[in-house]
Amino acid sequence: MKQVTISNPFITLIVLDYGAIIQKLLVKDDEGRYTNVVVGFDYPSQYHNDKASLGACIGRYAGRISKGGFTLDRKTYPLFNEKGVHLHGGKEGFSKKYWTIEEVHKGDEPFVRLSYFSKHLEEGYPGNLKVTVTYKISNNELHIIHEATTDFTTVVNLTNHSYFKLDNENGIDHYFLKLNCPKIVETHENLLPTGKLTPVKDTPYDFSSERQIGATRLDTPFATDDHSSFAAMVYSTKSGISMEVNTNQRGVVIYTPQHFPAICFETQNFPDAPNHPNFPSSVLRPSETYRNASIFKFDLVT
């Protein structure tokens, strides 16, 4: 397993070729000490047994797909599923693959670019898919850019699955959260979408005004507001570290796991879009390039 480190005066990033995983993301707290703001393992080999997709690239389709597959251009493609739910690209998905380190740049605005070639019908998806993910640091920002091209019409939805933890406390109840997301993608108990978007106003999902997370726990797809300067913002009152999330995607799945204190911001298309014509299209055709560009900006609150 290969490991790449890039850094600037604000951020140090450590990436693995396995799963294109962000192993560590070090930023400075309000006392100038480096804090690793993502949950991860100390030893790369430990990721082989990870079931939480810590820091990994998720694909070919991030999130859930219903009905055991999807129909595209009149052809049905069955997918691996458990109890009718296909999750995060299938039995393995991109998070369990070795990626190729294509380029490492350590000068101004350092970056690392990795690639993966997903063969036609891998996990049931049509088309030979060429995927790249670029991690770039610019001042106090981490840029994550997923791109993909195909030789046959397919569906694509990629995201990074880092669990953010902005301090060394044993909890996230004290975090303050603000979401420029006026609606959620309504889901059934198994977290598959119903097909409806519902307003967050006067619900536990309403973080349109900054407030403490408290006891609220989420595994929720939010619809972003195209007119806002950022999709989400979170900060810790203990470390003083804040993170702002900006994306060109129509959705962000916010996930607070039960078994450890952290919060995910999975910038992506809506779950199960291939089975909901009213959702933003996830279809990628041979003449097109898929692009998910997201920025995670770190700062200190006073």
CA dist 282 and 269 (Å) reads 7
Interior angle at CA 240, CA 32 and CA 292, nearest 5: 100
SS3 117: strand
How many angstroms separate the Cα of 283 from the Cα of each of 61, 224, 277, 289? 11, 20, 11, 11
CB atoms inside a 10 Å sphere around CB 197? 17
Residue 259 has what DSSP assignment? S
Q: 72 with 155: CB under 8 angstroms?
A: yes
What percent of the residues of the chain are helix, what percent strand, and what percent coil, each to the nearest 5?
5, 45, 50
Question: pLDDT for 144-174, tens place per residue?
Answer: 999 999 999 999 999 999 999 999 999 999 9
Question: pLDDT for 259-296, tens place per residue?
Answer: 999 999 999 999 999 999 999 999 999 999 999 999 99
Question: pLDDT for 96-147, tens place per residue?
Answer: 999 999 999 998 899 999 999 999 999 999 999 999 999 999 999 999 999 9
pLDDT tier for residue 17 given thresholds of 50, 70 and 90: very high
- How many domains does the chain fold into? 1
SS3 17: coil
CATH number for position 107: 2.70.98.10
Helices (runs of H) and strands (runs of E) counted in the chain: 0, 27
| Catalytically annotated residues | 161, 266
Q: Give residue 133's region: left, alpha or beta (phi > 0; psi -120 to 50).
A: beta
CA dist 186 and 173 (Å) reads 24
Structural domain harbouring 212 = 3-300
DSSP annotation string for 185-222: EEE-TTS-EEEEEEE-TTSTT--SS-EE-TT---EEEE
pLDDT tier for residue 226 given thresholds of 50, 70 and 90: confident
CB atoms inside a 10 Å sphere around CB 156? 25
